[in-house]
Amino acid sequence: MIGFIEGISFLVLLLIAMPLKYLAGQPEAVRIVGTAHGALFVLYVLALLLAAFNRKWQPGIVLGGFIASVVPLGPFVFDRWLKTQDPDA
């Protein structure tokens, strides 16, 4: 769930807040959405590490989850892949 919300916040930041800042001169949009996205990113990384510990994931899976968090649409792709590997995830 955190991955989904973090992924949405990243897309809102890139597709709505950034254009508002640079095309409409409204930098407060990036400040607000960016702050929320930053907090969600931290929660995502903590959830990723907690899941990795609890499920005894290999380091490559954890690295893939982290890389997915910094790529647009990455959390959605990682979540889908993860569900093919572990249906209980």
Q: What pLDDT, in 10s, does the model give residues 38-81?
A: 999 999 999 999 999 999 999 999 999 999 999 999 999 999 99
The tokens for 75 are 């959390």
Sign (positive/negative) of CA torsion 83, 85, 88, 89? Answer: negative
Q: What is the mean pLDDT of residues 13-19?
A: 96
**What is the C-alpha to C-alpha distance for residues 7 and 5, in angstroms, rounded to an integer?**
5
Q: The pTM is what?
A: 0.85
Domain boundaries, the chain: 2-85
Q: What does the pLDDT read at residue 85?
A: 84
- Contact predicate 40/5, CB 8 Å: yes
89 by DSSP, 3-state: which? coil
Q: Which tens digits make up the pLDDT trace of 18-43? A: 999 999 999 999 999 999 999 999 99
